[in-house]
């Protein structure tokens, strides 16, 4: 698959083929500017590839209309962004309920509370993001990404701002949750601590300027 920024193809990025089974995991690593974020955006249907294709749970992301992509993204993909973007005025539990509503799934308070409890946050349901530690907020973001039972869990730099202990915890949570929910896990990162930790590892090369 490839993507070109700019009319004249100023920056053309080429990506190797990636295939991840449900419950499987893959890390995409590479230096700054190698195209990790671009790859996330392509997979999430926010950009359209110049060549190649993207298929998630049998659905083509690259050839669908914008409206269809938005629908597929909500139904098939859970995303953990580096900036967590939890809603500051809502509690941990309410952030999950909002995500349920946005993903088009029925709102189920009990299952959202259970999901948070399963990530060790049972005592933090009614805390707002500012009252959570960085590691706790990261776990809320992971729980939120999973509420829609996605086929693909995408995480952009999920550990870069965490200490070693929380990095370990988040890595374990992501891989365990992917297996438990039958989701494919794709992590893009420049964090060297992730190396060798997921089933597959793909290294993007720095593009020549
Ligand atoms: N909107 C844009 N227009 C033109 N070029 C862009 C645009 N966005 C990114 N690029 C270029 O594409 C390349 C890949 O960018 P990308 O953000 O995907 O890299 P990255 O691997 O995520 O880097 P980082 O680790 O710094 O986040 C870079 O050379 C960047 O300058
Ligand atoms: Mg990036």
pLDDT tens figures, 73-115? 988 999 988 777 899 999 999 999 999 888 777 899 999 999 8
Residue 208 has pLDDT above 80, yes or no: no
Residue 78 near residue 183, CB atoms below 8 Å: yes
Nearest in space to 16 (alpha carbons), one of 50, 44, 52: 52
The atom of ligand 1 lying closest to the CA of 204 is: 21
- % of the chain beyond a pLDDT of 90: 66
| The pLDDT of residue 134 | 85
Distance of CA 8 to the CA centre of its chain: 31
The mean pLDDT value of the chain amounts to 91
Domains, the chain, in order of start with CATH, read: 2-87+132-203 (3.40.50.300)
- Report the percentage of the chain scoring pLDDT > 70: 98
Ligand 2 centroid vs 122 CA: distance in angstroms?
A: 32
**Mean pLDDT of the 173-196 span:** 92
pLDDT of residue 60: 94
Residues with CB under 5 A from ligand 2 (ion): 36-37
Ligand 1, residues at Cβ distance < 6 Å: 5-6, 11, 13, 30, 32-38, 190, 207
The C-alpha R_g of the chain, in whole angstroms, comes to 17
pLDDT tops 70 at residue 209: no
Within 8 A by CB and 6+ apart from 47, the residues are 3, 38, 41
Q: Give the containing element (helix H, strand E) for 12.
A: strand 11-14
Which pLDDT value is given to residue 118? 85
Residue position matching structure tokens 């995409």: 28
- 8 A C-beta contact, residue 56 and residue 151: yes
Instruction: Give the pLDDT of residue 184.
Output: 97
pLDDT in tens, 136-181: 998 999 999 988 889 999 999 988 888 898 889 889 989 998 999 8
């Amino acid at each position: 698959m490839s993507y070109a920024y700019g009319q004249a193809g100023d920056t053309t990025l080429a990506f190797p083929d990636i295939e991840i089974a449900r419950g499987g995991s893959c890390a995409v690593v590479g230096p700054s500017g190698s195209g990790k974020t671009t790859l996330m955006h392509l997979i999430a249907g926010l950009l359209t590839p110049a060549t190649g294709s993207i298929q998630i749970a049998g659905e083509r992301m690259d050839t669908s209309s914008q409206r269809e992509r938005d629908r597929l993204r909500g139904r098939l993909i859970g995303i953990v962004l580096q900036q967590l973007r939890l809603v500051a005025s809502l509690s941990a539990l309410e952030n999950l309920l909002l995500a349920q509503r946005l993903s088009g799934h029925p709102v189920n308070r009990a299952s959202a509370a259970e999901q948070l409890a399963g990530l060790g946050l049972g005592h933090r349901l009614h805390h707002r993001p500012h009252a959570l530690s960085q590691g706790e907020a990261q776990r809320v973001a992971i729980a939120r990404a999973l509420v829609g039972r996605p086929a693909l869990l995408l995480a952009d730099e999920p550990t870069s701002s965490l200490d070693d202990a929380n990095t370990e915890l988040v890595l374990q949570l992501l891989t365990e949750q992917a297996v438990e929910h039958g989701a494919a896990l794709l992590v893009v990162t420049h964090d060297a601590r992730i190396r060798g930790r997921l089933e597959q590892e793909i290294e993007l090369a720095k593009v020549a300027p």
